[in-house]
Each structure stands twice: as structure tokens, then as C-alpha cells.
Amino acid sequence: MNDPKNGDIMPETEDMFEEVKKIRWHQEAIDSNIELITRAHGKEILREIMEFFGNVPGKKKAINRARIFLAVDGKRSVGKIADDLELQLPNVSTEITKLKDMGLIEVKEVTKEGIIYKKRKVDTLLRISQKLIKDFELEKEVAAVEVPEQPQVTEEKTRGEQNE
């Protein structure tokens, strides 16, 4: 009889391990396809996202929505974001829901302090945070908020990724 305590893997565990590997492989393929589509249609996607933030002529800018999006860092709970931005929790929760529904953020984890969200990869691909900081003139306000570094895509790196 197999004993997991001794490092033996039961047949069910091996099957589950193989299934998890397949799921991860499929998820990576889906992520790659989404990234490719996002890059191909980046201008249209960015235009729609900026409209969501009110960052278009003739529309009122949703500054608090932008501030909340920028404060989402994968470390702070919704309550902590509300405290840090000196906003009411119900207002922050409403904006978080809108950001999540728009596909800009996702749940990272649920802790005893509350739900912690993180930005989705589209932020990095389309440089949404940087555009919001610049267009909404939030440089001083977000000095304490970490904005992820943007990876530099070189021709060499692109070729190397294609060979993988």
C-alpha cells in the first residue's frame, strides 16, 4: 500500500497531478492568446478603458475610480485602500466592483482583513496606470503607490519567446 507520508504517491494523486499539469498548460495557452489579441487591438481596448475612466473629451473624469485603480496593488484590502485614499468604504467597494466587472482587476486572495485585489496583466500590456497618472495629473498622489515597472520588449526577447 502506498503511504503518502513516506513520499509514495497514490495513483489518484498521480492522475490529479497530470490533470493539474494539463490545466496549467491550457491556462498558459489561453493567457498567451489573450495577450496576443490585446496587443493586436490595444488602441481600441485602451480607448474603451479610458472612456470607462471618463478620460475622453466631453466626459467628466472619474478621478476617484482612477485613484482606486492605482491603489490596487495586490497587498492592501479594500478597507485599507478606502482608509489610505480617505474615501468611504461603500464608494470604494462600488468602484472596485466596476473595475472587476471591466476586467481590470481580480481577486488575489481573501484574508481576515478583507479581499485583496490585484491588477490584471492588461494594465502592464497597455500601460493603463502610467496613462492614468499622466492624464489625471496624479503624479504626486501616487508617489506612495507602487506602479509596476513596464518590461522592455526587445526584438531579441521576442524572437526568444517565439522559439519556446
Tens-digit pLDDT profile for residues 36-50: 888 889 899 999 999
Q: Are 113 and 80 in contact (CB under 8 A)?
A: yes
Percent of the chain clearing pLDDT 90 (strictly above): 58
pTM of the predicted model, to two decimals?
0.73
Structural domain spans, the chain: 9-37, 41-145
Buried b (16+ CB within 10 A) or exposed e, 124-151: bbbbbbebbbeebebeebbeebebeeee
- Please say whether the dihedral angle defined by the alpha carbons of residues 153, 156, 158 and 164, taken in this order, is positive or negative: negative
Rounded mean pLDDT, 132-152? 70
Instruction: Name which of 12-21, 43-52, 109-118, 130-139 the model is least confident about.
Output: 12-21
pLDDT for res 5: 61
3-state SS string over the chain?
CCCHHHCCCCHHHHHHHHHHHHHHHHHHHHHHHHHHHHHHCHHHHHHHHHHHCCCCCCCCCCHHHHHHHHHCCCCCEHHHHHHHHCCCHHHHHHHHHHHHHCCCEEEEEEECCEEEEEECHHHHHHCHHHHHHHHCCCCCHHHHCCCCCCCCCCHHHHHHHHHC
Rounded mean pLDDT, 19-30? 91
Residue 70: pLDDT above 80?
A: yes
Residue 71: pLDDT above 90?
A: yes
pLDDT for res 8: 59
Residue 3: pLDDT above 90?
A: no
Given pLDDT bands bounded at 50, 70 and 90, which one contains residue 143? Answer: low
Name which residue leads in pLDDT, 3 or 76: 76
pLDDT for res 95: 96
pLDDT for res 164: 46
pLDDT for res 14: 84
CATH topology of domain 41-145: Arc Repressor Mutant, subunit A (1.10.10)
Percent of the chain clearing pLDDT 70 (strictly above): 80
